Amino acid sequence: MPRCAFCGADVEVIDRVGRLDECPSCKRDLHACLQCQLYERGAHNQCRESQSGYVTDKERANFCEFFIFGRDVKREKTDINVAREKLDALFKK
């Protein structure tokens, strides 16, 4: 089950996430870049979809047609922690 990128709560999605849908737990927008599987911090416009338009506020609802709900936030945080541990080991912190 996908989770909210803001609060981590499980979000049940029946068909697809609409532009005005909110997280039942924290009431933040679900149709936002930070909630999308295509969101990538280091990518151009922070999106892996090359045809998407630029979105100024990544935390608010938008009209992106490429939106796919359900980022794997837990995995991303783990990847960041692993990278930090490798850097610390490299520099013997």
Using an 8 Å Cβ cutoff, are 35 and 13 in contact?
Answer: no
pLDDT along the chain (93 residues), means of 10: 91 91 96 95 92 95 95 64 82 73
Residue 38: per-residue pLDDT: 94
Residue 64 in tokens: 């992106």
- How far is residue 53's CA from residue 37's CA, in Å, rounded to a whole number? 16
Residue 77's pLDDT is what?
Answer: 59
The count of structural domains within the chain is 1
pTM: 0.75
The pLDDT score that the predictor gives to residue 87 is: 84
What local confidence, expressed as pLDDT, does residue 91 receive? 86
Structural domain including 57 reads 1-93
